[in-house]
Structures are given as structure tokens and as C-alpha cells.
A = this chain, B = another copy of it.
Amino acid sequence: MLVMFMLQPVKGTRDFVGEEAVMLQFLIDVIRRTFERYGFTPLETPAFEYLELLTKKGGKDIEKEIYSFKDKSGRELGLRFDLTVPMARVVASKKLKKPFKRYQIGKVWRYDQPQAARWREFMQADIDIVGSSSPLADLECLKPVVDIFKELGLDFFIKINNRKILESVVRSFGIEDITTAFRIIDKQDKIGWDEVKKELKKNFPDKDIDALIDTIKKNDLSVLLLDEEGEQGLSELKELLDLGKIVGIDDFLRIDMSLVRGLEYYTGNVFEIMAGLDVSVGGGGRYDNLTEVLGGEKEPATGISIGVYRLLKVLQDKKFVPPKKKKVYVAPIGETRAEALQILNKLRANNITSEIDVMNRSLSKQLEATDADIVVIVGPKDLSNKQVTIRDMKTGKEKKAAIDKIIEEVMKA
């Protein structure tokens, strides 16, 4: 016998069973249907990639988190840590028609410290538009996300910023190592502003860090003195806000000058989706250099990613119940299994979710065990009258129905 912990999923990973699995599937369906409505088409890429590809542009923090291994021929591989790098690889390697609008919903893996709502295996639902540098492409990624969160009835908002603005601000304080500064500022959510200040001061001892942080925290775009690149970022952000107003999502957008988004590949507008007040359930932004860095042609690109497990948890905390399909249970009494199977056949041929006992149980045990909405009882006496008994499991009411009217009768019930 195996030790019991081997019967558990590996630390940081999860099983989804029963109601929870149904809910996950429901959520994936809502997301996918919305993405498709916006003209995104699917992409499917492998779970693992060459390690060198994965470490090319994710940044140092992500590199430590990659599940890496050698295959039996000695290839150095790694499980993907997001869906953006594999997508950029596909774009860099193929001549695809632009704009390339794809969605991908799949698992990614990061060897992170597991904590509440943070897993080592989790699921992302991504959309990206490659080939357009217009803020309209940013909008076309934000809008479906707003649709999804509205459809799910959630309280949410989306933080937006433009990296060029923050870069310009950081530079205006004499800091040239933007990567390091951003990596520290990005930790603000986790460690708070005081710690961010400390770390910045340690890294940039001769700069006026207090004033820098004050400027960021003030979060007022109108008072900034920006260089040309900063002005460019500001105009991109403003265009996105204007477009948001046109399509009616401006109420959900909030400027947050401190927003960096962890991964190093972002270059312009960035987003973070917040459920309730403070739960991040996804984000994204513009990354105009990624395909070039990977060895392809330079392509402007933008995208957004929903953390599916995170979102699921938000829904579960709200006791969200997904809609349930009507289910029928066919219960033979005595030697009527053949007739019951034929009725079952008919129900399924008419797209009605239906089941039959496979445990050889008595009728009362069957009625006790089933979670169906309707039970079709197939007894010898009814059969001799070419009928069955239909029982509504909610009310307990029963009625007779002719076998050749079974579909209509079940639909009505």
C-alpha cells in the first residue's frame, strides 16, 4: 500500500471533483464563449518548451520558478509559466495573418510558495492581439474581460497604467536601472510601500526616493513632468480611456500609477483585474518587443490573462451556483431493463441528459441515490399499457405518460 500522502495531489496542485469541477467547467465555458464572440480563435501549445526559450524574457523572478527537467534524450525543458511566451514563439516562427487574435485557456506551472489562492499549477485564460499598436487593440482585450465579470455578477474594477509613464517618472528622479526599480515597486502589493521605499533606498542611495514614492502615490497624471516617451505613454493611456468611455466600460477602469505587472516583457499600457477591493484575478498589457526578443520579427502585441482558479475561488466565496441542466433518471422495475434502455436511448438521442442504474439496486435505493430532476419509472404493468410513470423529484408528483410521447412529456415535466 502506498503511503497516504501519495494519494493526495502534489503540493501546490489541485483536484477538481464533483460540483467544483462542474463550476470550473462552467467558468471556462463563459470565458471561452465571450472570447469567441470577440473574434478570438483558439491556440493550443504544449505544456513544456525548451528551457532556453522560457528563460529568455520572463525576468529573473520567473526563472527561479520554472519546473525544469531533462527528457530522456537530454533536452533541457521546462513547463510553461504562462501562455504568452509560447504564443509569442508561435508568432515568431510562423507567417501568420495579422492581426493575430487568439485565445488560449490552459494550465501553467510556477514553483512558487503555495499560499491562499496561489497554486503551483493553475489555469490561465488569455487573449492577445498581435500586429496592432493601437490602443483599440488594448480595448478589444479589456472589453471581453469586463463582459465576463459582468456576466458573473461580480464586483470588480481594472487598474490601468502605462509603463512609459512610470518609466519617465522614475527616470526623472535620476534612476536609470528601470528593471530593478520596477521589480521593487511591483512588490508593493505584497510588502507595502514602506518596504518598497527601504529597498529602493538601498538600491539607489543617492536618489530622492521619498519624493518618487510620493509622486507615484499621489496618482495624479495631470501634475507630472514627463519626457517625450512619458508623454507618448500618457497619450496611449488617454486614448484607451476615451475608447473605454465609448464602449461604456469607463466605470470599471481606474488609473493606478504604481501598476507595473511583474513580467519584464510589458512595454506600454498595463492592466490588472481586481475582484472586490483587493483580489487580483488577472492582468496583462502591451508587449511590443517579445516576438523580436524570441528571434522573430518585431510585432506590436497586447493581451490580458484571467487567473481561472483565482476567479473560481472568488465565485465560490460568493456561493455562486452555476446553472444546472435538467437530468433524467430511468429506473426499470423487475425485468424491464431492455425497455428501459430503449427509452434511455431515445432521451439521449433527443439531447436530454439521462442515466440508468448500473448498480442493480432496488427502486427505492435508486430514487434515494439519484440527483436527477425527473425519474422515468419503467414497470411491467405500465409497459403492458405502453406507458411509463414520470416522477418529478422536487414535488414527488407522478404522472403516467405514453412511451411514444416520452420526449414531450419529459420536456414538460
Bound: A369/B355 CA distance, A: 48
Q: Does A399 contact B (CB under 8 A)?
A: no
* Chain B residues whose CB sits within 8 angstroms of the CB of A41 once the complex forms: 18, 21-22
| Identity of the chain B residue whose Cβ is nearest the Cβ of A77 in the assembled complex | B10
**What mask results when residues 1 to 44 of chain A are scored 1 for a CB within 8 Å of chain B, else 0?**
11110111111011111100110110000000000111101111
A348 touches B37 (CB 8 A): yes
Q: Give the distance to chain B from A27, nearest Cβ to Cβ, in Å.
A: 11
Please count how many residues in chain A sit with their CB below 8 Å of the partner chain's CB atoms: 95
Q: Does A375 contact B (CB under 8 A)?
A: no
A71 touches B111 (CB 8 A): yes
* Chain B residues whose CB sits within 8 angstroms of the CB of A18 once the complex forms: 41, 96
Bound: A230/B98 CA distance, A: 62
A295 touches B338 (CB 8 A): no
Q: Give the distance to chain B from A319, nearest Cβ to Cβ, in Å.
A: 20
A358 touches B99 (CB 8 A): yes
Bound: A369/B100 CA distance, A: 12
| Identity of the chain B residue whose Cβ is nearest the Cβ of A67 in the assembled complex | B71
* Chain B residues whose CB sits within 8 angstroms of the CB of A96 once the complex forms: 17-18
A355 touches B16 (CB 8 A): no
Q: Does A118 contact B (CB under 8 A)?
A: no
Known A-B contacts A8-B93, A247-B341; the reply to A132 vs B52 at CB < 8 A is no
A21 touches B44 (CB 8 A): yes
| Identity of the chain B residue whose Cβ is nearest the Cβ of A36 in the assembled complex | B353
Q: Does A200 contact B (CB under 8 A)?
A: no
Q: Give the distance to chain B from A82, nearest Cβ to Cβ, in Å.
A: 15
* Chain B residues whose CB sits within 8 angstroms of the CB of A247 once the complex forms: 341-342, 344-345
* Chain B residues whose CB sits within 8 angstroms of the CB of A246 once the complex forms: 337-338, 341-342
Known A-B contacts A99-B358, A295-B4; the reply to A352 vs B37 at CB < 8 A is yes
Q: Does A354 contact B (CB under 8 A)?
A: yes
* Chain B residues whose CB sits within 8 angstroms of the CB of A102 once the complex forms: 17, 21
B136 touches A46 (CB 8 A): no
Partner of A42, one of B25, B45, B325, B352: B25
Q: Does A72 contact B (CB under 8 A)?
A: yes
Q: Give the distance to chain B from A232, nearest Cβ to Cβ, in Å.
A: 17
Known A-B contacts A43-B16, A53-B6; the reply to A129 vs B24 at CB < 8 A is no
Partner of A15, one of B3, B46, B50, B134: B46
B49 touches A351 (CB 8 A): no
Known A-B contacts A16-B43, A22-B42; the reply to A1 vs B358 at CB < 8 A is no
* Chain B residues whose CB sits within 8 angstroms of the CB of A163 once the complex forms: none
Bound: A191/B250 CA distance, A: 66
Q: Does A147 contact B (CB under 8 A)?
A: yes
B134 touches A358 (CB 8 A): yes
A7 touches B295 (CB 8 A): yes
Q: Does A62 contact B (CB under 8 A)?
A: no
B21 touches A359 (CB 8 A): no
Known: A24-B44, A136-B337. 16 other contacts (CB 8 A): A6-B52, A6-B295, A9-B46, A10-B48, A10-B50, A10-B75, A14-B44, A16-B44, A21-B43, A37-B353, A39-B327, A47-B107, A147-B348, A246-B337, A247-B344, A247-B345
Residue pairs across A and B with Cβ atoms less than 8 A apart, 12 shown, are A2-B53, A6-B53, A7-B53, A16-B43, A16-B45, A38-B348, A69-B69, A72-B111, A99-B358, A99-B359, A147-B348, A243-B341
The 10 tightest CB contacts between A and B, nearest first, are: A69-B69, A13-B46, A39-B355, A7-B93, A16-B44, A132-B358, A2-B295, A21-B42, A137-B358, A1-B295
